[in-house]
Chain A
Amino acid sequence: MSGGLDRRWIYLGMMLAVALPILWNGMTGKTFPESPTPPSQACFDAIEALPEGSRVLVSFDYDPASEGELAPMATSFMRHLMHKRLKPVIIALWPLGPTKGEETISNVIKADFPDRVSGRDFVNLGFQTGNEGVLKVIGTDFRKQFPVDRSGMPVDRLPIMEGITKVGDFSLVITISAGYPGSKEWVQYVSSANPGLVLLAGVTGVQASQIYSYYPGQLRGMLAAIKGAAEYEALVSAVVDGDGVTPPRYTEARRRMAPQLFGHLVLIGLIVAGNAVYFSQRGRKAVAR
């Protein structure tokens, strides 16, 4: 029933479909245009609607394994927040999340917004163990879970944290998540308990289909997989750069859409070919009978 095709040919086709567009892209720097779908537009609008100086909780719930999809989202979120002069407070439910947060800070804030000061305009509070347990506690007492920032400075002495005692005190919460604990837990334990709180999520493709059932109720907006990241990145570029040139580090998601397109086309071709083989074999059997 395999149609006599060695699966290694399939692998080769997929490899070329992904590798060649990357090389093409790297040489020409071209990307495809993006038109935003409602969940991505909703993310953009939710951040646009905040007044300057609002504090935003950003949770980095992923590790290097999912960086390909999620790091461009983190970069775009951070760039948008900085452009709007909002103040991100970074936490993580994954042990390697704080490192990813630090990378985003140095790629975006230190590179393009050097006037922003840690502790006043942004802060990285690091990781806490306990998965959804952490979320339950910050619902009532944020400082109990995150008493110090990553360098050991007590939160009580950080201007950015003034007046923040629980998660409901933030104007907006963003989770960038790769699995458990992640968006689902944020919805279950934070969004449900704080009806007025606006929650945005950036999720991997695997999670997207599950998380969709929470949008637009408990989740105000979501970026689904690299496509969502590319759409949002385009929206942010349009508002930050206008007609000017976007620096290459802010086109990462859109660059990844080219291998995506050809990978999908290979898959579609394979499904069509598989069915062609199937029907031709079935036809032959019918004749034989």
Chain B
Amino acid sequence: MVLGADAGFMNPEKMLLCVVLAATCACILASMVAARAGRVPKIRRITGLEAVEEAVGRATEMGRPILFVPGIQDMDNPMTVAGITVLSRVAGTAARYDATLDVPVSRSLVMQAARESVQAAALQTGQPDWYDPERIRYITDEQFGYAAYAAGAMARDKPAACFYMGCFFAESLILAENGNAIGAIQIAGTAETAQLPFFVASCDYTLIGEEFFAASAYLSGAPDQLGTLRGQDIVKALIALVLVFGVVMATTDAFSPEPASEPTAEVAP
């Protein structure tokens, strides 16, 4: 299963990977095309995302800034990229309300991408002057150095709304507890499973795993993007079918008199 260790389609493991990969892409692409053609799926409510507008509005009313943290990993991490796409939506809303948006980042490349995306959002909303590159600034690559800054900045600037969207490790609770202490509305989204419990405990809304990746498509409201979400659901249904089939096979196997020829994954040889 090592990439490139035994390349080529002859290897059954590679074959399986190829089939699953192709099926996944095909489902998502087909739903996207169907949505473009007019079959736009109705997406269920994701409460955390409905609250974005409310949070930005509240910050504007109170005259306090909004804090957006796109995680502490670099652009090679899909969560960071997803966080940046959510940032562009949040920035659009903030520009409309003319609210102050602070984006401290912990990687130089992320700073670059965040600046581009916030500037684009400002232009789209017709508020090009709202964009201020100095508000999107690099702090440090060090996880806890960054957390030290964020904790101190929260205690001093008292943001009214905090967004944590990206890849987080132990600093998640430092951010969320300090945000809670200053009474901010907090919306978090991550696929880092170990940190989800802390966001769930300390934030007002948390986007869990796949919901987080769906966030930017959901917020964009564009038909083709919503179509990809339906595609994900179709793949999920296929996975469930395969799983049920596998379970039935394994169960009938258990009844067969002779012991299974090869040990299942769960049994240590």
Whether B138 sits at the interface, judged by CB under 8 Å, is: no
Residue on A nearest B193 in the bound complex, by CB = A210
Please report the C-alpha to C-alpha distance between residue A153 and residue B265 in the assembled complex, in whole angstroms.
40
Whether B249 sits at the interface, judged by CB under 8 Å, is: no
**What residues on A are CB-neighbors of B181 within 8 Å?**
7
Query: In the bound complex, do residue A193 and residue B5 qualify as a contact, i.e. CB atoms below 8 Å apart?
Result: yes
Please report the C-alpha to C-alpha distance between residue A140 and residue B2 in the assembled complex, in whole angstroms.
9
**What residues on A are CB-neighbors of B194 within 8 Å?**
206-207, 209-210
- Number of A-B pairs whose CB atoms are under 8 Å? 34
1/0 per residue, CB under 8 A from A, across B179-194: the answer is 0010000000000011
Residue on B nearest A46 in the bound complex, by CB = B268
Residue on B nearest A139 in the bound complex, by CB = B2
B residues contacting the other copy or chain, number (CB 8 A): 16
Whether A159 sits at the interface, judged by CB under 8 Å, is: no
Q: How many of chain A's residues touch chain B, expressed as a range? A: 10 to 19
Query: In the bound complex, do residue A193 and residue B1 qualify as a contact, i.e. CB atoms below 8 Å apart?
Result: yes
Contact pick for B2, options A7, A136, A209, A210, CB 8 Å: A136
Please report the C-alpha to C-alpha distance between residue A186 and residue B193 in the assembled complex, in whole angstroms.
18
Whether B146 sits at the interface, judged by CB under 8 Å, is: no
1/0 per residue, CB under 8 A from A, across B187-215: the answer is 00000011000000000000000000000
Whether A37 sits at the interface, judged by CB under 8 Å, is: no
Please report the C-alpha to C-alpha distance between residue A165 and residue B169 in the assembled complex, in whole angstroms.
35
Report the minimum CB–CB distance from B208 to chain A (whole Å). 14
Report the minimum CB–CB distance from B4 to chain A (whole Å). 7
Report the minimum CB–CB distance from B116 to chain A (whole Å). 26
21 A-B Cβ contacts within 8 A?
A: A7-B181, A136-B2, A136-B4, A136-B5, A139-B5, A140-B5, A179-B169, A188-B1, A189-B2, A193-B5, A196-B269, A206-B194, A209-B193, A209-B194, A210-B194, A216-B266, A216-B268, A217-B265, A217-B268, A218-B265, A220-B268
Sample of 6 further A-B pairs with CB below 8 A, known A136-B3, A136-B5, A189-B1: A7-B181, A65-B144, A140-B2, A192-B1, A209-B194, A217-B266
Binding site for A on B (CB under 8 A): 1-5, 144, 169-170, 181, 193-194, 265-269
5 shortest interchain CB distances as A-B pairs: A139-B2, A192-B1, A193-B2, A206-B194, A193-B1
Binding site for B on A (CB under 8 A): 7, 65, 136, 139-140, 179, 188-189, 192-193, 196, 206-207, 209-210, 216-218, 220
